[in-house]
């Protein structure tokens, strides 16, 4: 009961925060942005408490059922954004995209079953927690990199535009920060694959089994590895880099979320709840 | 001779080039994608959507044709990484030498991140304080009315890419060691039974490894099984308690092992397996008094309607026994109580159907009881729970995991410990001091340029109210 109360409070705070950020972007009022930020932080805290209560009630982390996966993904996205805004204030306008996405995810989560799933012993591992956290961080950072790539393309196509585009950092800095986020996502992806391999070794005595989802994740790693290589070898930057980041993200969505939904391999139950 | 040397040089330079490694990575990505399609092709899909059908159409039927290209690519990648690493060390050393050298004002002004401003006095102290605050180890030279600075921050960052490259060598060395030393086997144990580690004692075992193939000869006896289910088919807990002896018969003690918590004995990892059930001891005796004792395995049912059945052939006869086990012991397993209730007799019994030479005979043997059929006496002598284990010996695993750690460390250093080099010159000019400062970094240059400009602005405004000139 307490968990759902915190959950709904967080959802309400996220809705308020989204209105604040969108208002800040549309009317260029600082007051709106401050309200958006305050509500995002409050929502993140309330949401964190809801997740902890859920953890205590079901005896495992929030990564088994659809409700838990979507809810924790929304929390990671908001946490990541709050952290980014705290460190680099110029990214505040990104809240207009992140906060609506967060409350939509939470809304979708409520459509899933809230029933506590029975946890098989293979899933009781500290490595699973590491694996899941870094998977979420990878997706969150690569998603924000996509947002930066889109802003870069918009800014590049209309260099003299005013409004919200003028309030964003320069195109060169957007490109640079997007690159930095892809690097962070790539490292998280690496930790995700490595921790998965260690967990598989502990569970089944085999660190790599060429399972379909496992192999696709390696392909995603190589796709982003090629991007980093291309940035050094061919000096990819600007438009080429932005389009690559967008295409690579859609490919990773296909590999991580769409394919495991249809192809029932070892990962299906964990990845689509 | 010179022509030959030139060719060799060209080949070496191509093999060491970044473009070549990019092409190799691209090809490797395509091969791994092919493996992923092959893996998903073999999974049963009910009405797959069009895009999965289309993807599957691109996949081969077997991964075997990929083996040679895969290993070939890996070999070329290693050559490329080796040669590139050599080149990289030379480049890092050159960079380290260059950072120790001073630059004049003109060359600092040519740097992409640079600033120029004037202060009334104490420009040297201002810059020294700036370098100290930023944690830059700077050196200073004075002469000809000028003071020059040069310094570096996060110098270790130069070696990040090399760490990253080395990690691939370590991972591949681990994989090679794995191929040479790995073997794995399965065995089942009933409570009280002992397994001695030797190839002949496994129910299934992989081919002997090329290195360290000898039997380890340690022994483990199953003392207890901790098995429970959330519901039939959904495992809740699967753990075992074993007593372990080393190869010399010295008792090492009692140990627990469970899923996700393997037991390591003499370099061999013992994992809790997923198969479990009962082993029935069945004794067959003919009229001449010849006896044979057999172990018949029955697996636990995964669904309420599933039966525990097994089929065995009586040795030395053409008789086949179709056996079905009923036991109240099933109800004693957590989560399977409902299945136990189905076994109304609440005792252990075997329903036997004997098939041989077109004759069929059905009967029942209670625990401890016997049955005569075709001149053979069958006795149901024991019923014990059993569990399965998976053993694997692989000396490559710690090396591979060490390589993974190096890989992550290399990536972190490469991208988040980025070296920054700074140069500055302070010159006395008409009662003022002119400062020209510049810096370079290898990654995220635009953000660095912006940050450097902000820092110089602050430095200039802190320097007796002067502003940036350029």
Please report the DSSP string for A214-258 in residue order. Answer: HHHHHHHHHHHHHHHHHHHHS---THHHHHHHHHHHHHHHIIIII
Q: Which residues of B touch A230 (CB under 8 A)?
A: 22
Can you tell me the distance from the alpha carbon of B9 to that of B87, in angstroms, rounded to the nearest whole number?
13
Question: What distance in Å separates residue A18's CA from the closest CA in chain B?
Answer: 28
In a mutational test of the A interface, the residue from B50, B260, B389, B409 whose CB has the highest number of chain A CBs within 10 Å is: B260
ipTM beyond 0.90?
Answer: no
Q: Give tens-digit pLDDT for A207-217.
A: 888 888 889 99
Answer yes or no: do B18 and A230 touch at CB < 8 A. no
User: How many other CB atoms are found less than 10 A from the CB of residue A169?
Assistant: 20
Residues 261-300 of B with CB under 8 A from A: 261-262, 269, 271
In a mutational test of the A interface, the residue from B259, B390, B405 whose CB has the highest number of chain A CBs within 10 Å is: B259
Q: What is the CA radius of gyration of chain A?
A: 19
Beta bridge partners of B139: B150
Can you tell me the distance from the alpha carbon of B27 to that of B24, in angstroms, rounded to the nearest whole number?
5
Query: Which regions in chain B score pLDDT beneath 70?
Result: 1, 44-45, 341-347, 356-358, 463-470
Answer yes or no: do B447 and A262 touch at CB < 8 A. no
CB of B48 less than 8 A from some CB of A: yes
Q: Pick from B187, B177, B167: which is nearest to B209 by CA? A: B177
In a mutational test of the A interface, the residue from B447, B449, B453 whose CB has the highest number of chain A CBs within 10 Å is: B447
Residues 58-87 of B with CB under 8 A from A: 63
Q: Decide if pLDDT at A272 tops 90.
A: no
Residue B389 Cα distances to B184, B196, B199, B204, B206, angstroms: 11, 13, 14, 11, 15
Residues A132-149, buried b or exposed e (16+ Cβ, 10 A)?
Answer: bbbbbbbbbbbbbbbbbb
Q: Give tens-digit pLDDT for A150-165.
A: 989 988 888 777 777 7
User: How many other CB atoms are found less than 10 A from the CB of residue B194?
Assistant: 13
Closest CB to B444 among A179, A205, A215:
A179
Q: Which residues of B touch A121 (CB under 8 A)?
A: 235-238, 258-260
Question: What distance in Å separates residue B419's CA from the closest CA in chain A?
Answer: 15
Q: Which of A121-130, A256-265, B300-309, B360-369 has the lowest mean pLDDT?
A: A256-265
Closest CB to B40 among A191, A218, A263:
A263
Q: Pick from B300, B327, B288, B325: which is nearest to B310 by CA? A: B325
For chain B, report the end-to-end CA distance as a whole number of angstroms: 55
Which residues does B383 contact at the CB level (< 8 Å), separation at least 6?
B278, B279, B280, B281, B325, B327, B329, B348, B367
Q: Which residues of B touch A125 (CB under 8 A)?
A: 260
Can you tell me the distance from the alpha carbon of B96 to that of B71, in angstroms, rounded to the nearest whole number?
37
> Which of residues A115 and B311 earns the better pLDDT score?
B311
For chain A, report the end-to-end CA distance as a whole number of angstroms: 22
Give the three-state DSSP class for A102: helix
What are the structure tokens assigned to B468, written together? 């940036």
SS3 percent helix, strand, coil of chain B, rounded to 5, is: 40, 35, 25
Q: What is the pTM of this model?
A: 0.86
What are the structure tokens assigned to B447, written together? 């953000």
Q: Pick from B161, B25, B173: which is nearest to B87 by CA? A: B161
The residue in chain A having the minimum alpha-carbon distance to the alpha carbon of residue B30 is A219
CB of B430 less than 8 A from some CB of A: no
pLDDT for res B468: 52
Q: Which residues of B touch A170 (CB under 8 A)?
A: 446, 450
């Amino acid at each position: 009961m307490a968990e759902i109360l915190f959950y709904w409070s967080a959802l309400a705070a996220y809705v308020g925060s989204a209105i604040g950020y969108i208002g800040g972007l549309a009317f260029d009022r600082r007051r709106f942005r401050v309200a958006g930020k305050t509500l995002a932080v409050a929502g993140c805290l309330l949401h964190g408490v809801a997740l902890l209560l859920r953890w205590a009630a079901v005896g495992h982390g929030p990564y088994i059922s659809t409700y838990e996966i979507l809810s924790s993904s929304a929390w990671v996205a908001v946490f990541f954004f709050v952290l980014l805004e705290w460190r680099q204030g110029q990214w505040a306008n990104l809240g207009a995209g992140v906060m609506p996405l967060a409350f939509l995810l939470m809304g979708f989560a409520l459509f899933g079953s809230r029933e506590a799933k029975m946890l098989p012993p293979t899933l009781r591992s500290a490595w699973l927690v590491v694996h899941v956290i870094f998977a979420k961080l990878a997706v969150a950072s690569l998603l924000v990199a996509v947002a930066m790539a889109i802003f870069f393309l918009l800014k590049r196509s209309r260099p003299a535009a005013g409004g919200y585009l003028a309030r964003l950092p320069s195109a060169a800095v957007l490109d640079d920060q997007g690159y930095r986020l892809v690097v962070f996502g790539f490292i998280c992806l690496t930790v995700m694959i490595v921790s998965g391999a260690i967990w598989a070794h502990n569970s089944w005595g085999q660190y790599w089994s060429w399972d379909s989802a496992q192999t696709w994740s390696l392909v995603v790693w190589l796709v982003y590895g090629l991007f980093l290589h291309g940035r050094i070898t061919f000096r990819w930057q600007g438009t080429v880099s932005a389009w690559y980041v967008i295409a690579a993200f859609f490919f990773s969505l296909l590999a991580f979320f769409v394919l495991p939904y249809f192809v029932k391999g070892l990962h299906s139950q964990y990845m689509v709840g | 001779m010179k022509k030959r040397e030139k060719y060799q040089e060209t080949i070496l330079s191509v093999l060491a080039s970044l473009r070549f490694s990019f092409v190799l990575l691209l090809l490797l990505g395509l091969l791994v994608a092919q493996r992923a399609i092959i893996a998903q092709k073999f999974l049963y899909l009910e009405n797959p959507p069009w895009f999965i059908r289309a993807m599957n159409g691109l996949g081969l039927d077997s991964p075997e044709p990929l083996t040679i290209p895969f290993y070939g690519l890996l070999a070329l990648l290693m050559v490329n990484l080796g040669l590139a690493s050599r080149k990289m060390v030379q480049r890092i050393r050159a960079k380290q030498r260059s950072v120790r050298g001073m630059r004049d004002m003109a060359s600092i002004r040519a740097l992409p991140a640079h600033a120029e401003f004037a202060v009334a006095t104490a420009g040297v102290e201002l810059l020294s304080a700036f370098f100290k605050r930023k944690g830059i180890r700077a050196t200073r030279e004075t002469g000809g009315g000028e003071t020059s600075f040069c310094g570096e921050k996060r110098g270790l960052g130069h070696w990040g890419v090399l760490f990253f490259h080395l990690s691939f060598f370590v991972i591949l060395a681990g994989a090679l060691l794995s191929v040479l030393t790995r073997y794995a086997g399965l065995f089942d144990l009933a409570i009280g039974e002992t397994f001695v580690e030797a190839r002949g004692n496994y129910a299934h075992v992989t081919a002997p490894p090329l290195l360290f193939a000898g039997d380890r000869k340690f022994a483990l006896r199953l003392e207890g099984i901790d098995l429970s289910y959330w519901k039939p088919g959904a495992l809740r807990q699967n753990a075992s308690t074993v007593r372990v002896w080393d190869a010399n018969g010295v008792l090492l003690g009692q140990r627990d092992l469970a899923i996700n918590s393997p037991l390591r004995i003499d370099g061999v990892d013992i994992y809790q397996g997923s198969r479990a059930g009962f082993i029935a001891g069945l004794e067959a005796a003919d009229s001449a008094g010849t006896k044979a004792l057999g172990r018949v395995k029955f697996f636990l049912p995964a669904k309420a309607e599933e039966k525990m059945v097994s089929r065995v052939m009586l040795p030395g006869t053409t008789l086949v026994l179709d056996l079905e086990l009923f036991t109240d012991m099933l109800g004693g397993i957590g989560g399977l109580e409902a299945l136990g209730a189905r076994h109304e007799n609440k005792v252990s019994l075997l329903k036997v159907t004997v098939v041989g030479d077109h004759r069929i005979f059905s009967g029942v043997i209670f625990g401890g009881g016997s049955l005569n059929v075709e001149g053979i006496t069958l006795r149901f002598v024991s019923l014990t729970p059993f569990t399965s284990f998976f053993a694997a010996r692989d000396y490559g695993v710690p090396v591979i995991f060490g390589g993974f750690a190096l890989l992550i460390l290399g990536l972190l250093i490469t991208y988040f410990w980025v070296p920054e080099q700074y140069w500055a010159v302070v010159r006395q000019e008409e009662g003022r001091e002119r400062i020209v400062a510049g810096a370079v970094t290898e990654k995220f240059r635009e953000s660095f340029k912006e940050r450097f400009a902000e820092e110089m602005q602050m430095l200039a405004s802190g320097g007796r109210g002067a502003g940036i000139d350029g």
